[in-house]
């Protein structure tokens, strides 16, 4: 065990203890001697105890001054741990130390940027996507639970027409939504369809790796940011020399990455990725907005040729409680969609009209799907309207 101190951007100082553990994806180890009493649960035991509290735990949250918490169907629930009323700053730091191990890249990110992303595994129990961050000079942690089994489209209740993605040979498929809306699960399900149906080479570039894919009909290689490659851009450029037919990128977050994605699509690759945008129209606006005004026309032209699907997701509470359901918007490229993408902002309404009118081609809009759920009494009226893209129009449709 060694000690490490680093300076935060706010000039605060944190003294950090890390234990020697395997680099890359952290695995559960026996707890080190941390100076805590024997009655304090080791980190793996604490995580298992929290997972056992409910069959629908989606996140684990550790914050100084609060008890350990789990998120279940959108609600945070405190977990009672014998001998522990609230977490101390020392305790959350110890948990973070156990999770990070001696992952030097993560330690550097935490020291220089105030947060880091890692993956963590409890052998035979669960995998997690972990974000460790500094707040008010102490350490807090959020752990997203990743199912051990790769979900299928049917299990996620996604539109069955999305299975057609496996038939695509080139182009871009984007899955969008707010953080926590299930984008990673949808991407994993789409990739698994391709893995099962095509004899091809797949490369994924992820931050961090969440679902572990086995070779099926396809040969699949998974690369993790910081552990296997220093950046998305370097990994994407390298992928162009690694002969993949399919590339999955966990997220597109800036112009540089988007340019390489467009290049890859234009050279015959199928690209799957995600963006943190609320719907298809906002997705196009976000991408175009990364470029200068002088480039907008050419970028829209390239998008019109490259986009195959934009799949957007929202999680809406059930009418009678008991969790949330995914509502999905599907934009599929056809001649009218390509025309809307190419001709700029004045075509936003035309794009929405195309979504509503494209049911025969497998398209569906948020508001039409929400309307169906309200009429089926799966969600209540006011909740549905609050999640609509055009609340006024949906209210009027329901009145009619």
Range from 31-40, 53-62, 205-214, 265-274 carrying the lowest mean pLDDT: 31-40
In this predicted structure, what is the pLDDT of residue 39?
A: 54
pLDDT tens column, 62-97: 999 999 999 998 889 999 988 788 999 999 999 999
In sequence order, the 6+-apart residues with CB closer than 8 A to the CB of 293 are none
Domains defined for the chain, CATH in brackets = 2-146 (3.30.450.90), 160-364 (3.40.50.300)
**Coil/strand/helix, residue 360:** helix
Look up residue 357 and give its two tokens: 């009118």
**Coil/strand/helix, residue 374:** helix
In this predicted structure, what is the pLDDT of residue 352?
A: 84
pLDDT tens column, 191-226: 999 999 999 999 999 988 889 999 999 999 999 988
Neighbour tally for 149: CB within 10 Å = 9
328 beta partners? 313
Torsion over CA: 28, 33, 34, 36 (sign): positive
Residue with the bigger pLDDT between 208 and 379: it is: 379
**Coil/strand/helix, residue 280:** helix
pLDDT at 15 over 90: no
């Amino acid at each position: 065990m060694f000690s490490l101190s680093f300076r935060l951007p706010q000039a605060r100082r944190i003294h950090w203890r890390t234990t020697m553990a395997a680099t890359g994806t952290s695995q559960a180890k026996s707890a080190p001697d941390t100076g805590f009493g024997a009655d304090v649960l080791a980190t793996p035991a604490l995580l298992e105890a929290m997972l056992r509290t409910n069959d629908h735990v989606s996140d684990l949250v550790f914050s100084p001054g609060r008890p350990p918490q789990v998120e279940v169907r959108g609600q945070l629930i405190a977990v009672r741990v014998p001998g522990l009323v609230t977490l101390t700053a020392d305790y959350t730091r110890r948990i973070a130390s156990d999770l990070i191990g001696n992952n030097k890249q993560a330690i550097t990110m935490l020291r220089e940027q105030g947060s880091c992303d890692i993956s963590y595994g409890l052998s035979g129990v669960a995998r997690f996507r972990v974000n460790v961050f500094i707040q008010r000079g102490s350490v807090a942690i959020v752990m997203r639970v990743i199912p051990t089994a790769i979900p299928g489209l049917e299990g996620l209740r996604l539109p069955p027409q999305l299975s057609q993605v496996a038939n695509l040979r080139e182009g871009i498929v984007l899955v969008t939504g707010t953080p926590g809306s299930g984008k990673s699960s949808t991407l994993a399900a789409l990739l698994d369809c391709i893995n099962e149906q095509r004899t091809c080479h797949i490369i994924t570039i992820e931050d961090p790796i969440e679902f572990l894919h086995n070779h099926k009909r396809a040969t699949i290689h998974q690369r993790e940011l910081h552990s296997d490659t220093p950046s998305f851009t370097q990994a994407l450029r390298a992928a162009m020399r690694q002969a993949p037919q399919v590339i999955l990128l966990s997220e597109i977050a800036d112009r540089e990455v988007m340019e390489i994605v467009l290049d890859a699509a234009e050279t015959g690759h199928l690209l799957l990725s995600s963006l943190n945008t609320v719907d298809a129209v906002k997705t196009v606006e976000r991408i175009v907005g990364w470029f200068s005004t002088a480039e907008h026309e050419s970028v829209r032209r390239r998008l019109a040729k490259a986009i195959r699907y934009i799949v957007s997701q929202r999680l809406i509470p059930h009418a009678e409680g008991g969790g949330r359901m995914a509502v999905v918007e599907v934009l599929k490229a056809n001649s009218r969609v390509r025309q809307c993408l190419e001709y700029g902002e004045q075509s936003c309404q035309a794009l929405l009209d195309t979504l509503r009118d494209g049911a025969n081609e497998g398209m569906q809009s948020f508001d039409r799907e929400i309307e169906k759920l309200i009429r089926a009494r799966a969600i209540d009226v006011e909740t549905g309207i609050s999640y609509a893209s055009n609340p006024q129009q949906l209210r009027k449709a329901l009145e009619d």
